Every structure is written in structure tokens, then in C-alpha cells.
């Protein structure tokens, strides 16, 4: 009898994980509403020109792993700092810790494809960002942070706040 090959490529491994999340994850609504631009990175005049009301909408599929940590796939579109649409598609993993019977916190990272009109002519590019959350298993206040990538002021240092509400 021929031995079955259990080695899978990294592509197959992550594709299977995404399909599993899509097929079996809990459907959630994501609502964005605020992007805080670092006051030490941007001048008051520049902040007055930027959009900090980053309204947006998205959906995710969320599952708990065997360690009760959370992983999700998502798609979301928000109004970026320049009032332009910013679509995002990604995967997030958070290590969760209960604070009480119902309340928990999470911290982790997201890998995503993002499209912005001010970078690469709107062509999607990859990013990895830290994420955190506080709430229940079924609804959370979440945050993603875009760090400052250079010593130049006016680039990065943005905290995006959004909520995730389970629909199932």
C-alpha cells in the first residue's frame, strides 16, 4: 500500500485554514468609526485637514482554536485619512485572556492586503499590524495600530478603532 504524503505546501496549509474559517466561522459585522492620528506625529493644522471619522463597514468570520484564542478572516472598507475608500482584506489572530466570566481582552496581529489611493496608485499591498480588543466573545471594541515608519512627521502613528458584533 502506498504511503500517503502528509506534507503540504505553506500555500495549501493557509488556504485550508482560510476555507475552514469561511465555512465554519461565526459571521460578524465590523463597524469602524474613529482613527486617531498621533498628536506628536502630525501638526494641529494637518490633523484639522485629516479625516478622523473613519466610518466603515465590513464582515468577518471568527473561530476559537483549541487554546481558546481567536482567529478570523475579514473584509472591510473604511474612509481613510484623506476621505477616500480604503478596502482591506485579511487574517487576524489574537491571544485572549478572560478578565471575568464574560469579559476578555485580546492581543495579536493581522496580516492584510490594503488599498489606498495615496500609496502605489491604489494597488493593493501587504501589511502586518498589531491588534487588540476588549469585550465579550460576541461583541468587542477592537483596535489596530499603524506605526510611524520613518523619522519624518506626518506618516503613520494612527490608531483605528472599530467594533465587531457577532451576527449568529
Which residues are annotated as catalytic?
A: 37, 80-81
Average pLDDT of the residues of the chain: 92
The model's pLDDT over 11-41, given as tens digits with 9 standing for 90+, comes to 888 888 888 889 999 999 999 999 999 998 8
pTM listed for this prediction: 0.88
Domains and CATH numbers, the chain: 12-166 (2.40.160.20)
C-alpha cell at 123: 494597488
The model's pLDDT over 127-162, given as tens digits with 9 standing for 90+, comes to 999 999 999 999 999 999 999 877 766 678 999 999
Does residue 2 surpass a pLDDT of 60? no
C-alpha cell at 50: 485629516
Q: What is the model's pLDDT at position 20? A: 87
Does residue 90 surpass a pLDDT of 80? yes
Task: Quote the DSSP letter at residue 13.
Answer: H
Amino acid at each position: 500500500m502506498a504511503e500517503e504524503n502528509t506534507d503540504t505546501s505553506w500555500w495549501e496549509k493557509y488556504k485550508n485554514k482560510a476555507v475552514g474559517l469561511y465555512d465554519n466561522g461565526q459571521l460578524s459585522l465590523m463597524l469602524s468609526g474613529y482613527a486617531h492620528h498621533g498628536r506628536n506625529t502630525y501638526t494641529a493644522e494637518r490633523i484639522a485637514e485629516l479625516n478622523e471619522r473613519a466610518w466603515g463597514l465590513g464582515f468577518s468570520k471568527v473561530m476559537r482554536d483549541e487554546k481558546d484564542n481567536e482567529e478570523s478572516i475579514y473584509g472591510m472598507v473604511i474612509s481613510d485619512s484623506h476621505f477616500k475608500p480604503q478596502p482591506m482584506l485579511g487574517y487576524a489572530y489574537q491571544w485572549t485572556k478572560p478578565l471575568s466570566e464574560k469579559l476578555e481582552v485580546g492581543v495579536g496581529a493581522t496580516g492584510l492586503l490594503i488599498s489606498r489611493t495615496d500609496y502605489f496608485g491604489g494597488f493593493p499591498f501587504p501589511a502586518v499590524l498589531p491588534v487588540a480588543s476588549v469585550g465579550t466573545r460576541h461583541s468587542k471594541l477592537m483596535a489596530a495600530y499603524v506605526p510611524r515608519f520613518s523619522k519624518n512627521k506626518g506618516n503613520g502613528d494612527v490608531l483605528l478603532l472599530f467594533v465587531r458584533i457577532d451576527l449568529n
